Amino acid sequence: MVAAGGIGQAANSDPAPRRLWLCADDYGLAPGVNRAIRELIARGRLNATSAMVVAPSFSRSEALELSSLAKEKRAAVGLHLTMTAPFRPLTAFAPVTAEGTFLPIADMLVRSFWPRFDLDLVGREVTAQIDAFIAAFGRAPDYVDGHHHVHLLPRIGTAVLAAIKGANPDAWVRQCGQATPLYRRLHDRKGILIDVLSRRFRDHAKKIGVSTNPAFAGTYRFDPGASFAACFPEFLKDLPDGGVVMCHPGFVDAELARLDPLTTLREKEFAFLCGDDFPALLAARGFALA
């Protein structure tokens, strides 16, 4: 089991580097994404990835290939809980679109605050995705996060915490509260929203004894001209030992273009993480991948 948290001080006078969880979301989304994530783990440039078990390109063979590599490289493998369009539920989940997919994230966000949002249906879907992960990988996930951060939404978050505590009491869940002061990131509306949603989620996790990461970073505007390389140093500012940085590396292919609007920026992320500037930046800022 790979746990979230910090590491101790070295025996000499130099402080030990802060441990960083660099988590690649969306394993299983498309063949090009899967291949890019495995390549980065093999190169020692990632130490965590989360799998979308409902994605058409996720399979047991893809899971076994990742599992073998992750064991060799000591990388964590988590569940990327997926409950938004264009993906389909594994259970008789409701509400869904006319096409039978989950609702878009904006609609799911609104519905999650409704008193009539069925907690039992949510719990069954969460449990089914955890069970699908176990069937594919032969073990429970090391941690749980969510596509579009859906695991942080009210009622969904409650079901996630209960389900993962039952499946793997030692697992952690990703909360998305940031260490950087709010006044320095007023431009990051998505980051502020998930930060707010994380407060209740984090408190509930602590109450029932589920571990969370101490801080989170990795949000930026997915504009065509965005530079992940320029954003990454900002992610490291104020990040404590054991903090999580989210990333989305991948190679563009037809399946990715069909399912997700985030395409060419994934290749930019991959290029930065493969390059020489990335490990040099981590060392200069006092970080190391676990």
Q: What is the pLDDT of residues 191-242, one digit of tens each?
A: 788 888 999 999 999 999 999 999 999 999 899 999 999 999 999 999 999 9
Q: What is the pLDDT of residues 76-108, one digit of tens each?
A: 999 999 999 999 999 999 999 999 999 999 999
Decide if 57 contacts 31 (C-beta within 8 A): yes
pLDDT band at residue 9 under the 50/70/90 scheme: very low
Quote the crossing angle between the two packed helices 228-236 and 277-284, to the nearest 10°.
Answer: 20
Q: Identify which of 148, 147, 199, 140 has the alpha carbon closest to the alpha carbon of residue 175.
A: 199
Q: What pLDDT score does 5 carry?
A: 52
Q: What pLDDT score does 183 carry?
A: 55
Q: Identify which of 6, 120, 32, 28 has the alpha carbon closest to the alpha carbon of residue 78.
A: 28
Amino acid occupying residue 85: A
Q: What pLDDT score does 86 carry?
A: 98
Q: How far apart are CA 169 and CA 286, in angstroms?
A: 31
Q: What pLDDT score does 192 carry?
A: 81
54: left (phi over 0), alpha (psi -120 to 50) or beta: alpha
- Opening angle at CA 52, ends 47 and 54, nearest 5: 165
Tell me the average pLDDT of the chain: 92
Q: What average pLDDT does range 254-283 have in this prediction?
A: 97
Residue 32, pLDDT > 70, answer: yes
Q: What pLDDT score does 1 carry?
A: 46
HEC states along the chain? CCCCCCCCCCCCCCCCCEEEEEEEEEECCCHHHHHHHHHHHHCCCCCEEEECCCCCCCCHHHHHHHHHHHHHHCCEEEEEECCCCCCCCCCCCCCCCCCCCCCCHHHHHHHCCCCCCCHHHHHHHHHHHHHHHHHHHCCCCCEEEEHHHHHHCCCHHHHHHHHHHHHCCCCEECCCCCCCCHHHCCCCHHHHHHHHHHHHHHHHHHHHCCEECCCEECCCCCCCCCCHHHHHHHHHCCCCCCEEEEECCCCCCHHHHHHCCCCHHHHHHHHHHHCCHHHHHHHHCCEEEC
- Opening angle at CA 155, ends 151 and 157, nearest 5: 30
Amino acid occupying residue 254: A
pLDDT band at residue 3 under the 50/70/90 scheme: low
Q: How far apart are CA 233 and CA 159, in angstroms?
A: 34
pLDDT band at residue 8 under the 50/70/90 scheme: very low
Residue 10, pLDDT > 80, answer: no
List of long-range contacts for 254-257, beta carbons under 8 Å, 24+ apart = 255/29, 255/30, 255/31, 255/32, 255/56, 255/57, 256/29, 256/30, 256/32, 256/33
Q: What average pLDDT does range 234-260 have in this prediction?
A: 97
Q: What pLDDT score does 6 carry?
A: 42
Residue 185, pLDDT > 80, answer: no
Residue 182, pLDDT > 70, answer: no
Q: What pLDDT score does 188 carry?
A: 67
Q: What is the pLDDT of residues 150-180, one digit of tens each?
A: 999 998 999 999 999 999 999 999 999 987 6
The torsion of the CA quartet 241, 244, 249, 255, rounded to 10 degrees, works out to: 160
Percent of the chain with pLDDT over 70: 92
